[in-house]
Amino acid sequence: MALEKADQQAIKAGDSEKEKTDWVGEAKSIGLLLLAVLAFHSLVAKPFYIPSVSMMPGLLVGDRLIVSKYAYGWSWVSPTFHVLPRMEGRLFGSLPERGDIVILTPKDQSSDYIKRVIGLPGDTLELRGGQVFLNGEAVDQEAQPDLQLPIDANAPCGSAEFPGLRGADAAGNPICSLPIVRETLPNGVSYDIIDLGPQMTDDIAPVVIPEGHVYLLGDNRDLSADSRVGSPLGLNGTIPWENIGGRAEFITFSLDGTTSLNPVSWFTSFRSGRAGTSLRPDRTDSASE
């Protein structure tokens, strides 16, 4: 009986040891996983969310997209959290191409912006009546049919931003009728912009872009705080290439702003037709660069 009792106590002790959780080991595993995710986001690719109308019509509020962090090499801005001191230069660096959509950090801010690269080092860039001129040559612009954008919570077509553009399609659904212009850069890259008419930022005196800098514009030309706009809201001129954090590649999914605590809304709020859309601009064969 004594031996049997000792065996039972030994079994209970063994079960107790099995039930104990190695909290230190668990914490190390979670820590290593977080480090791996941060390293991937800092060096390879990272998801981003579009919070503003500045890159319409290509990017809408509510779009989620992937940005490649290695496209132009790495710099102080590459880490997910901007913890490094601001330094000049890039590791394995290369300049963006004209027309690339990039994530960047302004010279005097820590937040991330998304804009399109228009001017490269050595270029003379100016705007006359809303038309871009590069090195004295007008960038091609061609009017397109208005874009009939469905109105939703993330694209409300507010009167402050898009006055007089609300309407309805043939079925009576509310739409925002956006004036579209197709712009083609000297390297043959084409993309659509929104032109709402005469604005203060339509005329910019010639700017010579310094070495290691780029000039950036938003596709929603009249509602973008880009290189034409001073701080604290805008980029305040050209941007050093080391302030560029990566290149926008494609949209993963898009939400119309109706997501709530109701699980059904997690599915009904998805915008159809946007997942997988490439953010690399079209290129024609008639390139002059």
* Residue of 78, 115, 254, 269 with catalytic role: 115
In which residue are the tokens 């953010």 written?
A: 279
Q: How many whole angstroms separate alpha carbon 34 and alpha carbon 248?
A: 23
Tell me whether residue 46 is one of the annotated catalytic residues.
no
Which of 162, 156, 70, 65 has the alpha carbon at shortest distance from 114? Answer: 65
Strand partners, 46: 67
CB 187 within 8 A of CB 100: no
- Amino acid occupying residue 232: P
CB 149 within 8 A of CB 155: yes
Q: Which two three-digit tokens encode residue 95? A: 């300049």
Q: How many whole angstroms separate alpha carbon 224 and alpha carbon 203?
A: 14
CB 165 within 8 A of CB 157: yes
CB 47 within 8 A of CB 64: yes
Residue 289 DSSP label: -
Q: How many whole angstroms separate alpha carbon 232 and alpha carbon 215?
A: 17
* Residue of 42, 54, 78, 254 with catalytic role: 54
Tell me whether residue 12 is one of the annotated catalytic residues.
no
Which of 222, 211, 214 has the alpha carbon at shortest distance from 104? Answer: 214
In which residue are the tokens 């099995």 written?
A: 18
Q: Which of helix, strand or coil describes residue 112? A: coil
Radius of gyration, CA atoms only, the chain:
25
Q: Tell me which residues are annotated as active site.
A: 54, 115
